[in-house]
A and B are shown apart, each in its own frame.
Chain A
């Protein structure tokens, strides 16, 4: 399904997704309205100087560069409660699962790189054994993408990692900014249904629109980006250079903050901890929180032995995971070239430079 949406109509479409078509009192009672699945829509908004996804409030604007945090948090929130436990002294504990709420979320303005993060996360959480916390959230999420007319960040490099500023991978709907209107294209069935909900707000694209779309896309792809010189050769080269002294050299400034991974649309590592609310009688929750391989203790054994001692080993893990291990397992790079880790690293560690250096290194 390909349509044209006037920019002024974007809030109308959001409203159509959020509100029940009939609405309570307009031919539909409250119970019906509640059971009919509606969307909670999230659009990028500028808050305290940073772009974040926020519940749509009728003033959606899709002129953001890219959000500070990737949209991964919708399916993989920073904090997920698995279950709660209670135990009276001398009795067996009682466990209560906490199931994510059945609520559909539509995330608007997802950039193509972040869209491409989605199938990568899906792989992790469904490969081998399904993580139901992830999948039960994921199945309720639709990603309404926004193609990049020009790379929003000077550190974008999606083209180097098999993506493109106009990729629709992982998205349900792809929108392209044509100046005063959007070219809207449904990618999945969900996407079609969502567009259908917009009904008359959408118009059919003219041939000129199609032409403009093509030009816009072509221009976007042609726009210069940062470049990984040999992405295809990377897995083998990284493997070969595992022991290279370059790693420590390049990572010497790393402070191990993990910003690079927390913000990354594809980093999925987590920690599980028990949070105790009361000691007697015992009550608390088992909670999953984000974690990442850049934290020094991530792999440290209880004995104090740490297989990834030093920032070099940890940078290598991050880069290798993205450009070698994931590739070896799933045939694709885990990095989607969003450039967040490059732009946000407080000490200027730059994955593009790192990959280039290591792949050019003969050792």
Chain B
């Protein structure tokens, strides 16, 4: 029998190790798997390569990706919009690395990883320091800058070669799931979540509801999901 439902987030995340790459769904505060992140922060996991669109706000007591950054668990952050004052301080101090990726390229690199593709050509970023090189990924001595990316003219237009992302783990938030791991998301909370699930070698999902789903109501089929936990009810 197929049953991907685990007893709790701690059990579902027990193989996540320091140094792992972890992609996390969400856009701003929408669709972020905060329970899974809390469970991850309960373990001694550090030096993560986190892949996520946003970096949280850097507020005291913040949940989500901002908590991972605040607790200094991230050595490299691949993202489009890292905006988090505390993390930026560590970036300018040369303690952490930022791989800045245009948002559509980030989405497509995750999808390519999940689809077994070797890379793709996108027109995005051509003629900018995110393609021609020069963006400072890590400050300090020596400074690390983004190397120029391979470019190619196809049908008269310049495209940039981008490679897939294939992280060790994905943390994903769904609205509804069944025991097969089939997922359905809710409105703007879908965003990067299905792509994160596709890309990772091991995908852990928190779902607000667990039940059955009609075949055409499923946004992401179960083979992309490994472990599933029910979202913790909000504390009163």
Q: Is B truly associated with A?
A: no
